[in-house]
Structure 1
Amino acid sequence: MPAPPSAYGQHGPSCFNKIKTGFMMGFCVGLGAGAIFGGFGGLRMGFRGAELIGQVGKAMIQGGGTFGTFMAIGSGIRC
């Protein structure tokens, strides 16, 4: 149950802040998933050293951007 509004005019976060927070949460989750899937995928393809680090980094950025975008859209719909 939400708290009743106070007489001092306290407001919740703006819609932009909700979208920004949704993107950042999704980006962090996507980074973690990209690290796991990129690491296993790179090891399975036989990458070692710098190739593996590059593969994991690329997968992390792609996963973070994709999941962050979808979370931002979902947060925007709920505004």
Structure 2
Amino acid sequence: MPAVPSGYGQTGPRCFDKMKMGFTMGFCVGLASGALFGGFSALRMGLRGRELIQTVGKTMVQGGGTFGVFMSIGTGIRC
């Protein structure tokens, strides 16, 4: 026998909430991949110290933003 739906505010997350979660998850994955790929490429270029940190940080934020946008768009399509 199926459960009887109750009328007391037990609804699932809205589509915008799902898109925010998709962006957050994508941003985290992009940060991790940006740290790996940016770190290796910056070390290969011979960067050290402040230049290394700035280059890796920029690569992490760019990768996180890009992957986060694509994840949120994909989540929005599924809503």
TM-score between the two structures when normalised by the length of structure 2:
0.91
For residue 19 of structure 1, what is the aligned residue in structure 2? 19
Match of residue 41 from structure 1: 41
Identity across the alignment (%): 68
Distance of 1:41 and 1:14 partners within structure 2: 40
Quote the RMSD (CA, aligned, Å).
1.6
Q: Deviations over 1:43-74 (max 9, x none)?
A: 00010000000010000000000000000000
Structure of larger gyration radius: 2
In 2, the alpha carbon distance for the partners of 1:30 and 1:43 equals: 19
State the shift of 1:10 in Å. Answer: 1.1
User: Which segments of 5 or more consecutive residues in structure 2 lack a partner in the other structure?
Assistant: none
Q: Which runs of 5 or more structure 1 residues have no equivalent in the other structure? A: none
How many residues align? The count is 77
